[in-house]
Structure 1
Amino acid sequence: MTEPSYLAAVRESYDTVAADYLKRVKTPAELDPLSRAMLAVFAEVAQAADRGPVADVGCGPGLVTAHLADLGVSAFGIDLSPKMIELARQAHPRLDFTVGSMTALPIRDEELGGILAYYSTHHTPPELLPVVFAEFHRTLAPGGRLMLAGYVGDDEHLRPAQAYGGHPVSYESHLLPADRIVGLLDRAGLVITSRLVQEPDSGAKRTVATFLARKPERP
């Protein structure tokens, strides 16, 4: 498969901002109570399903990957940005981190017990989300679990001129309605088990949605 053109912009941008991103991004301990609780729930259901390791897809510098590991999950990280993976390996040498794209995951069919996509799918153009969700379905074992979290909106397309320390970036963000994301996951063969929508408050400027889903067992 030819690499989608948008990935080059995302990779270059996150390579550029990696060091400043690590300085500014919240650690799991600094997240709001609901976000921390959803990560804990995902860790618990992934462990209970016991279908294999959990991939943190779009792991960045590995903070959440390490948090899952601390919760007892057999977790590893994948990110498009080599610089992010370098930071993750430096900070968490006991864990595995790999450079890769969620449009073509370097993972065998049905290898995973879980996938975490934590604020990592919003740079994907909407027309390519079915490709990403098909990869999630392909790599999850039957009974495997997915947690997808991120900003949602009314088909908003954002193109920031700079981010994290004022560095110029060239990626776009696509904020879709929560119901549309549910529909795309359903069409990919993933069954939604819960969703949580957090409206903006004094600590957040945008609506956030978290979805838990599973790959059905074989008949």
Structure 2
Amino acid sequence: MGRVYTGNRADGYQSIAPIYDLSTSWALAPLRREMRRLILSAGYGAAGRVLDLACGTGVLMAMLRRRGVRALGVDLSSAMLGKARRNGLTGSLARADATMLPVRDASVDCVCLVLALHENTREDQDAMLGEALRALRPGGKLILADWLTPRGVVAQAAHWLMHPVERAAGREHYRGFREFLRAGGLEGILARHGLVLECLDRRFLGALGLAVARQA
């Protein structure tokens, strides 16, 4: 996969990595199953190459590999990648900053990004998405899951349920979450990069979006 991250940024997931899968599976399992379905229905089987950006403990990668998909994983957290390796994933994993990906231009067919944009500054959000687009081959797909700007009372209520969770993740994380929403959420960043939204599945009472997008 080329160069790997050699910086010294703190690993914010050091303490949560051992319990991450147990504590998040109730929410992430349905998203991952739908992402796998979307990837397979797009024809990215054995002939395709999927990049799981901010792959965490590698659960989505494992699901894809069991179906014959060549999945590559990148994450900044050495603790999360260590858990991925203990989960049985070997090879095609790299510790890397998502704003400086260790992949060649136009080298993957699909990039997945699950709940990672909102926890960063707007500058880093744009850099992450820019790098994902650089890595995509012409006609490739982005499959993204992240928070939407809430529409209606029910979505607003669902959002407020998440505020304590996002706040507990740390001051910088929570600041990124709030700035992400103020800038239009998932739909806002896709529009900012001029991407074509092929479909948007509203989940968690309309507070969370699962989107398939491509370059115009």
Which residue identity lines up with residue 202 of structure 2 in the other structure? Answer: V
How far, CA to CA, are the matches of 2:183 and 2:143 in structure 1?
14
1:47 to 36, 44, 49: 44
Which residue identity lines up with residue 18 of structure 1 in the other structure? Answer: A
Query: Which range moved further: 183-192 or 143-152?
Result: 183-192
Task: Determine the structure 1 residue equivalent to 2:23.
Answer: 24
Q: C-alpha deviations, 1:33-62, integer Å up to 9, x for none?
A: x763343113321517x5x41111111111
Query: Which range moved further: 15-24 or 104-113?
Result: 15-24
How far, CA to CA, are the matches of 1:158 and 1:12 in structure 2?
22
1:130 aligns with 2:129: no
How far, CA to CA, are the matches of 1:43 and 1:109 in structure 2?
23
2:193 to 188, 194, 206: 188
Report the TM-score, using the length of structure 1 for normalisation.
0.74
Q: Shift of residue 101 of structure 1?
A: 1.5
Q: C-alpha deviations, 1:127-170, integer Å up to 9, x for none?
A: 4322221111111010111100023346999585646xxxxx55
Task: Determine the structure 2 residue equivalent to 1:172.
Answer: 173
Does structure 2 conserve the Cα–Cα contact (< 8 Å) formed by 1:158 and 1:172? no
Which residue identity lines up with residue 194 of structure 1 in the other structure? Answer: C
CA RMSD of aligned residues (A): 3.3
Task: Determine the structure 1 residue equivalent to 2:153.
Answer: none
Give the SS at the match of 2:15.
Answer: helix
Report the TM-score, using the length of structure 2 for normalisation.
0.75
Percent of counterpart pairs with the same letter? 26
Question: Residues 135, 65 of structure 1: CA spacing in aligned structure 2 closer, same or farther, 3 A cutoff?
Answer: same
Q: Shift of residue 119 of structure 1?
A: 1.6
Aligned pairs, how many? Answer: 196
Query: Which range moved further: 82-91 or 122-131?
Result: 122-131
Give the SS at the match of 1:68.
Answer: helix
1:111 aligns with 2:107: yes
How far, CA to CA, are the matches of 1:27 and 1:95 in structure 2?
27
Q: Report which of the two has the higher share of helix.
A: 2
Q: Shift of residue 26 of structure 1?
A: 0.7
Question: Residues 81, 38 of structure 1: CA spacing in aligned structure 2 closer, same or farther, 3 A cutoff?
Answer: closer
Which residue identity lines up with residue 29 of structure 2 in the other structure? Answer: L
Query: Which range moved further: 146-155 or 53-62?
Result: 146-155
How far, CA to CA, are the matches of 2:90 and 2:41 in structure 1?
21
1:80 aligns with 2:92: no
Does structure 2 conserve the Cα–Cα contact (< 8 Å) formed by 1:15 and 1:84? yes
Report 1 or 2 for greater relative contact order, CA contacts < 8 Å, sequence distance ≥ 6. Answer: 1
Task: Determine the structure 2 residue equivalent to 1:58.
Answer: 54
Task: Determine the structure 2 residue equivalent to 1:37.
Answer: 34
Task: Determine the structure 2 residue equivalent to 1:212.
Answer: 212
Which residue identity lines up with residue 45 of structure 1 in the other structure? Answer: A
Question: Residues 15, 170 of structure 1: CA spacing in aligned structure 2 closer, same or farther, 3 A cutoff?
Answer: farther
Does structure 2 conserve the Cα–Cα contact (< 8 Å) formed by 1:192 and 1:213? yes
